[in-house]
Amino acid sequence: MAWSAAQYVKFEDERTRPARDLLAQVPDLPAGPAFDLGCGPGNSTQLILERFPSTPLVGIDGDEDMLEAARKRLLGLRFERADLTAWTPPQGAALFFANAVFQWLPKHIDLLERLVDALAPGGTMAVQMPDNLDEPSHLLMQETAEERAFAGAFHGRAIRRVPLPSPRTYLERLAPKAAKVEVWHTVYYHPLASANAIVEWVKGTGLRPYLDALPANRRKDYLAAYAEKIRRAYPAMADGRVLLRFPRLFIVAVKAR
């Protein structure tokens, strides 16, 4: 799937807020390196650097456009290209931080177990994932894709992200490996300028697989049909703006010292 750093950073303040909230729950780190997994354009990496300036820090991402943006933002920091589905976590890490990446990896729970195993004593794994597949923003991408006008163009490919496992599943799998595991949801409410801003927001993330799967000459029509549904689903508030409801799941696991 192709990413665009320029599209992603259009809503950088809103997208970085959950990374701040996640980092606020990370306790002081033991010795060892920190890794920002799915570092994107380096926004989450910058927060980690500010909080833990003396910890060696590496950003990992699978997309060259994102890595280039991250390297420009944080000169001198190490950024490496890797596909997290095939990545072996290095032993003795102080922190694995993953903001808004594992929702794209259907079998991520196996990797989360390996990450906790690889932590140094007292180290932390901190993960946040959008849990928004049942929001109109995402239901309507799929509904539009299934319309007669577009279904053929997708050639029956399954585009919809796989729903996240339940909070109970994360706890059951991770608790035996850690001294403390916390799992919680936060629902963010983002006032945005217009329904079109919601379309622009998801063009940087959730809509990408749909647009990538469509032939180039069908994308404009698909976007127009989706945008029309979004306008109906997100009516204007009193001040003319619209409200994007955005639930996210957080997991913090701290290894025994």
Ligand X SMILES: C[S@@+](CC[C@H](N)C(=O)[O-])C[C@H]1O[C@@H](n2cnc3c(N)ncnc32)[C@H](O)[C@@H]1O
Instruction: List interacting residues with ligand X (CB under 6 A).
Output: 3, 15, 19, 38-40, 43-44, 61-63, 66, 83-85, 99-101, 104-105, 205
CB 149, min distance to ligand X, A: 29
Measured from the CB atom, the residue of 33 and 38 that comes closer to ligand X is 38
CB-nearer residue toward ligand X: 49 or 225: 49
Minimum CB separation of residue 4 from ligand X in Å reads 10
In the complex, minimum distance from the CB of residue 125 to ligand X, in angstroms, rounded to a whole number: 14
The two three-digit tokens of residue 200, written as one number: 């622009």
Between residues 7 and 150, which has the closer beta carbon with respect to ligand X?
A: 7
Classified as helix, coil or strand, 50 is: helix
- Which amino acid type is present at position 7? Q
Q: Which is nearer to ligand X, 38 or 180 (CB)?
A: 38
Chain-centre distance for alpha carbon 62: 13
226-232 LR contacts (CB < 8 Å, sep 24+): 226/140, 226/141, 226/144, 226/199, 227/195, 227/196, 227/199, 229/136, 229/140, 229/143, 229/144, 230/136, 230/137, 230/140, 230/195, 230/198, 230/199, 231/195
Question: Are 170 and 112 contacting, i.e. CB atoms less than 8 angstroms apart?
Answer: yes
Q: Find the shortest distance in angstroms from Cβ 238 to ligand X.
A: 30
Nearer to ligand X, 12 or 146 (CB): 12
Residue (82 or 236) nearer to ligand X, CB: 82
Residue nearest to ligand X (CB): 40
| Nearest-approach distance from CB 84 to ligand X, in angstroms | 4
- SS3 call for 120: strand
The owner of tokens 């699978």 is 62
Residue 23 vs residues 125, 130, 181, 253: alpha-carbon distances, Å: 10, 16, 15, 12
CA angle 214, 220, 222 (to 5 degrees): 60
For the bound state, the minimum distance from the C-beta of residue 63 to ligand X, rounded and expressed in Å, comes to 3
Residue 220 has a CB neighbour count (10 Å cut-off) of 10
Considering the complex, state which of residue 65 and residue 221 has its C-beta at the smaller distance from ligand X: 65
Helix or strand or coil: residue 171?
Answer: helix
- Cβ at position 249, least distance to ligand X in Å: 14
